[in-house]
Structure 1
Amino acid sequence: MKTVAVLGGGIGGLAASYYLTKSAQVTKVVVLESSSRYGGWLCTTRRSDGAVFEHGPRGIRPAGTVGYNTLNMVEDLGLEREILPVTYSHVASKNRYLFVKGKLHKMPSGISGAIRTVPPFSRPLLLSAAMEMLVKKSKKDDESVYSFVSRRLGKELADIAMDGLCRGVFAGDCRKLSMRSCFPPLYNAEQNSGSIVLGMLLGSGTSHVVRPGPLAQKSRNQSWAQWSLRKGMESLPEAIVDWLTQSEKVHLHRHATVKQLHLSGADWEIQLEDGTITADHIVSAMPAKALASVLPHSLQPLIQLLQDVSSVTVAVVNLEYKGSILPIAGFGHLVPSSEDRGLLGVVYDSVPFPQHDSPIGVTTRLTVMMGGAWFEEVFGDPEEVSQEYLLAAASRAISSHLGINIAPTWSKVTVQRDCIPQYYLGHWERVESMRSYIRQRLLPLSLAGSSYDGVSVNDVIFSGRSAVEGLQRSAVS
C-alpha cells in the first residue's frame, strides 16, 4: 500500500489524514476537498474587533476514550495554550434549562435536584432511577430512543428531557432515532447489566482504550466539562492542515470535487473535474449519500445501504447584543418538539466562553438553532427560505423565551445543509452490512466521518483513527 486518497476535508477526513502521516505503510496521502475550505462543519467567524462566533460545534467534551483521543491530538498539534476549559463547577455546566409550557425550567442537578420534585417534572429523578432498576431488559436488537426511555424511565422524561436532548444533539426526532446507535453506552448498560443505572455505575466497558496524555490528564484533574479554543473551533482543522502541509507525504487539494470512482484491478481511479488520479486505497469521509453517488454501479448493494443514511438541515442564527442582557446564567436551553417544532434550542455563548466576546464594551452573544428534522415542515425548502425570515423567527424566540426585546447589534444566519446524519432504527445493522460487504469483496475502501459511528467532533475524529488502524491491520494480514 503506497497511496491513500482521503475523500473529504472536514474534520473526519483531516483526522484520518493526520493518522495516515504516522503510518509507515503509507507513502502518499492525497486529500480531496470539494469546497474552498477545510474543516467542514467546524466553521468560525472571527470579527475584526476580536469577537468569535461559531456556526457549528462550539465545545468539545474531554471525557472517555474519544475525548482523550482528541486531547492527545490537540496536544500533538501544539494547541495546549489555546484551550479554553469550562469546569463542572462553572455556571454553564451546572445550569442548563428546558423551555416547557412557556417557561424556562432549570434542569435538576446535584443530590438535592435528584431527591426533590423539580418542575417541569412531576416526581423526583431519583424515584425514576430507582424504578428503572426494576424494569426488565428488552430482547429487541434496537428500538427508538423514545421507546427505550419511556419503557425504562417513564413517558414524562421521554417527552420532555430526551426529546429536547435529541433535538440538541442530533437535531432529530427521538421517536425515529435509534437508541443503540445514538446512545450506545445506555443501550449497552441495559444489555450488560439489565439496568441503565446499574450499568453506568458498574461500567459497561469499551472495546477501545486510549491512554490519556498530559493534556487529557489535566482535563481530568481539573474536572473539565467541555473546552473550546481561543480563536474558535475552526482553529482545530486549521492546525491539522498546517500539520499536513509540513508532511512530505500529504498533497492537499481544495475545489477537488470527486465526479466518479472506478475500480481498476486492485486500485481506484478517481475522476475529478480536471483529470483522474489513482490510489491504492480510499478513506471516504464524505457523507454517506455523497459517496453513494460516485461509487461504481457494480457496487449497488453498498450504494443502497449508503443512500439509506439520511441527514437534516439546521439554521444557525448568531446574535450579538449590547450590554449584559441575559436574565439567567447557564449554558442555554433546549426546546422539546411539543413546545415548538421549529426551534431546537438557544445557546448562551457568552456564559461558557466570555473570552469570545468583543473586547470593546460589554456584549452578549447568543446562538439560536432551528429546523433539523422539522426544517421543511416549519420553514419550507432550505434553498428558498430567506435569511430575513429565519432571523425574524430567531428574534421572536429570544423575545418570547428570554424577554429580550431589543434588536441585536450584529447577526449572522447560516443554513447548514444536511449537516447532521440521522441514525434511524437499524442504523447499526446497516453500518455493519456496509463494512461486511467491503470486507467480503476485499474493496480497498474505509469509511469514516459522521455518517456511521457518532456525530460528535470526538466521534468523528476517532472514526478517522479507527479507519487508519483498520487499514494498517488489513495491510499486515
Structure 2
Amino acid sequence: PMTTVAVLGGGIGGLAASYYLCKSPQVTKVILLESSSRFGGWLWSTRRSDGAVFEHGPRGIRPAGAVGRNTLNMVEDLGLGGEILPVTYTHVASKNRYVYVNRQLHRMPSGLSGLLRPVPPFSRPLLLSLATEILVKKGKEDDESIHSFVSRRLGKELADIAVDSLCRGVFAGDCRKLSMRSCFPLLYDAEQRRGSLTLGMLLGSGPAPVVPPGPLAQRSIQESWAQWSLSRGLESLPESITEYLQQSGRVQLHREAAVQQISPSASGWKISLEDGVMSADHIISALPAKALSSILPSSCQPLIQLLQDISTVTVAVVNLEYEGSVLPVAGFGHLLPSSEDRGVLGVVYDSVPFPQHNRPDGETTRLTERLLARATEAVWSRDCIPQYYLGHHRRVESMRRFIREKSLSLSVIGASYDGVSVNDVIFSGRTAAEELGAV
C-alpha cells in the first residue's frame, strides 16, 4: 500500500526519522511538519561575519557506543566527514574537567594519580571507593535516584560533589530526583547484571544495539576521539539532513506549520493545521511530550496524562567572548554542585576544545555560561531538557502499551523518552523508521 508518514517536529529527532524513512522502500511519502521558522531544534549555531561560531545548544557530540557510531555513519553518508573537528582523549579539554567547590576550582581526578591518592575536594582516593563498591549489595528497588544509587555504592561525598555536578551539567537536573535507571542505563544494568559498577564496566554489560562502524566511526576509534563538532557549528548537521530530504524528492518539508490537533481516522490520522487538514497513515511524533499531549484527542486521555507527567527544565545559555586569553586554567570547563550555587550550572571553555570556532584574527576566548533560568526571564531555551524522574521507565512503557492496545499508528521519539543526548535522539528516529519498515 501507498504509505504516507507524517513526522511532527523538525528538530534533530524529526529530521533523523525522516532521513531513515527516506531509505525505507515501504514508505512512499514523508510529510515533515515544524512549527517554527527553522529546522534543527536545539542544534542551533550563530555564525558571525568575523568567523566566530557560537552554539546555543549542544556543543560537542560523543562518538562512543552504538548510538555514537550510528551518528557518525549518518554524518559520513551526508558528506560532512571533512568538516569534523575531533577532540581526542589526550587533549587538554578531555583530561581537565573542573568542579567549583568552596569558591575554588578543583580539577576532577583523572588517570592513576587521581585513583591512588585523595584529590581535593575529595577526602579519600577514588580507588578505595571502587574497591569497597564491589562489596556493596545490589539495590532492591525497581528504580532509585542517582544520588541514592551513587551514595549507596560509592559514598555520599562523590554523590554530593561529582555526581551532583555531573547531573547539572548533563541534564541541568537534580540528582536527588533523577532516575538512575533512565539517566544512566549502562550503570544501572552493570549493577543488575554483575552486582557491581566496577565489575559491570570491566566485564561489559548486556546486549547493545549492533551498529557496524563505517570508515568515519572507525577513524574515531583509532584516533580515540572523546567528542567532535563541525567546522561551521553543529547546526550543519540538521542543515545537511534538510538538504538531503529536499533532494530525495520523497519528503514534503513544511515550516511554520504548527499542528493544532490530530485525530484517528479510518485510514490512519487526520492532522489539523492552521490552514487546512492533512492525512497520514502513520504519525511519528518528535515533539516534546507536553506539546504532543496538547494535540491528542480526548479519546487518548490516559496517554495525555502520562505525557504531561514528564517534567522539563528551562536553561539560559549565555555566550561570552573576551579579547585575549582570560582563562585561569586550560580544560573543558567547570561545573558547580547545587550546594555551591543553585542558579549557575557551569561554564564551558569553548575555545579550548574548539579553537577553530574562534574568529581567525587576534586571540579571543569564548565561554558559555549555563544558568537555571528563573521562570520570569525571557530566555531562548525554554523547557529544553526533559527530566527523567523516578518511575520514568514505567511511564514510557505505559505510553507505548496504550498505543499498542489501542492500535494507534503512532510512534513517539525524541528527548522526552529514551535518552536526552543528540545520539540518543537520532537513534530513536532510526528505531521508529525501522519499526515501520518491518511491518
1-side partners of 2:294 and 2:283: how far apart? 15
Q: 2:423 aligns with which of 444, 447, 458?
A: 458
Residues 266 and 444 of structure 1 are in contact (CA less than 8 Å); yes or no, is this contact kept in structure 2? no
Residue 382 of structure 1: aligned partner? 377
Structure 1, residues 215-267: CA drift from partner, whole Å, max 9, x if none? Answer: 00000000000000000000000000000000111000000000001111241
Structure 1 residue 154: Cα displacement:
0.4
Q: TM-score, normalised by structure 2?
A: 0.99
One of 371, 378, 386 as aligned partner of 1:421? 386
The structure 1 segments of at least 4 consecutive aligned residues displaced by more than 6 Å after TM superposition are none
- Is 1:307 the equivalent of 2:272? no
Listed one character per residue, the Cα deviations across residues 6-55 of structure 1 (whole Å, up to 9, x for unaligned) are 00000000000000000000000000000000000001000001000001
Unpaired segments ≥5 residues, structure 1 = 384-413
In 1: Cα distance, 2:106 partner to 2:117 partner: 14
Q: Which residue of 1 aligns with 2:67?
A: 66
Quote the offset at 1:382 in angstroms: 3.3
**By how many angstroms is 1:207 displaced?**
3.7
CA distance in 2, matches of 1:56, 1:185: 25
Q: Where do 1:268-347 residues align within 5 Å? A: 268-347=269-348
Taking the aligned partners of 1:194 and 1:142, their CA distance within structure 2 comes to 15
TM-score (normalised: structure 1): 0.91
Say which SS state the counterpart of residue 117 (structure 1) adopts: coil
Amino acid at match of 1:267: G
> How many angstroms does 1:380 deviate by?
4.1
Residue of structure 1 equivalent to 2:404: 439
Tell me if the contact between 2:66 and 2:208 (Cα under 8 Å) persists in the aligned partners. Answer: no
Equivalent-residue separation in structure 2 for 1:104 and 1:327 (angstroms): 9
Q: Which digits, 9 at most, give the CA deviation of each residue in 1:144-198, with x for residues without a partner?
A: 0010001000000000000000000000000000000000000000000000000
Residue identity over aligned pairs, in percent, reads 73
Structure 1 position 206, deviation (Å): 2.9
Shift, 1:106, TM fit: 0.1
Aligned ranges 1:363-402 → 2 under 5 Å: 363-371=364-372, 375=373, 379-383=374-378
**Aligned residue identity for 1:166:** C
Partner of 2:44: 43
- The amino acid of 1:470's aligned partner reads E
Q: Distance in 2 between matches of 1:84 and 1:210?
A: 22
Conservation of the 8 A alpha-carbon contact between 2:34 and 2:256: yes
Q: CA deviation at 1:64?
A: 0.3
User: How many residue pairs end up in the alignment?
Assistant: 438
1:471 Cα deviation after fit: 1.8
Q: Is the 8 A contact 2:27 2:437 kept in 1?
A: no
User: How many Å separate the matches in 2 of 1:470 and 1:320?
Assistant: 45
**Aligned equivalents of 2:403, 2:203: Cα separation in 1:** 36
Which letter does structure 1 place at the counterpart of 2:273? Answer: L
The offset of 1:472, in angstroms, is 2.1
- Structure 1 CA distance, aligned partners of 2:16 and 2:65? 18
1: CA distance between counterparts of 2:433 and 2:376?
Answer: 38
2:383 match: secondary structure: strand
Counterparts of 1:164 and 1:415, CA distance in 2? 23
* Letter aligned with residue 436 of structure 1: R
Give the deviation of 1:112 after TM superposition. Answer: 1.1
How far does residue 325 in structure 1 lie from its aligned partner after superposition?
A: 1.1
CA distance in 1, matches of 2:124, 2:68: 33
Tell me the secondary structure at the aligned position of residue 415 of structure 1. coil
Residue 469 (1) aligns with residue 434 (2): yes
Runs of 5+ in structure 2 lacking a partner? none
1:48-75 Cα offsets, whole Å, 9 max, x none, are 0100000100000001000000000000
What's the counterpart of residue 413 of structure 2? 448
Are positions 1:131 and 2:132 aligned together? yes
DSSP-derived class of the 2:366 partner: strand
User: Match of 2:216?
Assistant: 215
1:29 aligns with 2:24: no
Offset, 1:470: 1.7
